[in-house]
Amino acid sequence: MANVAAELARRKARDKDVSSAVPFNQQNFEQLQKECLKSGSLFCDPTFPADRDSLGYNQLGRYSSKTIGTEWKRPTELSSDPQFIVDGAKRTDICQGVLGDCWLLAAIASLTLDPQILNRVVPPGQNFGSQYAGIFHFQLWQYGQWVEP
């Protein structure tokens, strides 16, 4: 079944350019990035705020022992030279932490097996250089169409 979905995604990707994705919550990556660069501020997503409620429910919810003490940090707060994707992506690049998000990480690792689909989901050329505005661009295949979350 996964091969059928991948083939359908390839066909649809060939038929449409990257800009044809349906925007989520009427957000536009280029516009948001431009506004942040102009104002000199880093993007803060109002639909996914950097707080405990965004981590999940039940075992990862607000009162979970697994999320107590969690701090949201930007990559530049963790490293003086953060990198996004360097020399391509391999499935062994993915390392799971303690949050129990193996389902997400497995999906991301699977994307590395098909560079064409990976480049559609994670458009290339994104980094922490001069155009970094605290926002990255992704596209997801949902219900038969590309969506930009």
pTM, to two decimals? 0.74
- What pLDDT shows up at residue 17? 54
Beta strands per DSSP E along the chain: 22-23, 140-142, 145-148
Q: To the nearest whole percent, how much of the chain has pLDDT over 70?
A: 88
Sign of the Cα torsion 78, 80, 84, 86 reads negative
Q: Which two tokens stand for residue 144?
A: 């038969």
pLDDT tier at 134, thresholds 50, 70, 90: very high
How much is the mean pLDDT over the chain?
Answer: 85
The model's confidence at residue 29, banded by pLDDT at 50, 70 and 90, is very high
Going by pLDDT thresholds of 50, 70 and 90, the confidence category of residue 88 is: confident
pLDDT in tens, 40-68: 999 999 888 888 888 887 777 788 887 88
The number of distinct structural domains making up the chain is 1
Domain that holds residue 130: 2-148
- Residue 9 contacts by C-beta under 8 Å, 6 or more apart in sequence? 117, 120, 141
* Mean pLDDT (whole number) for 19-37: 88
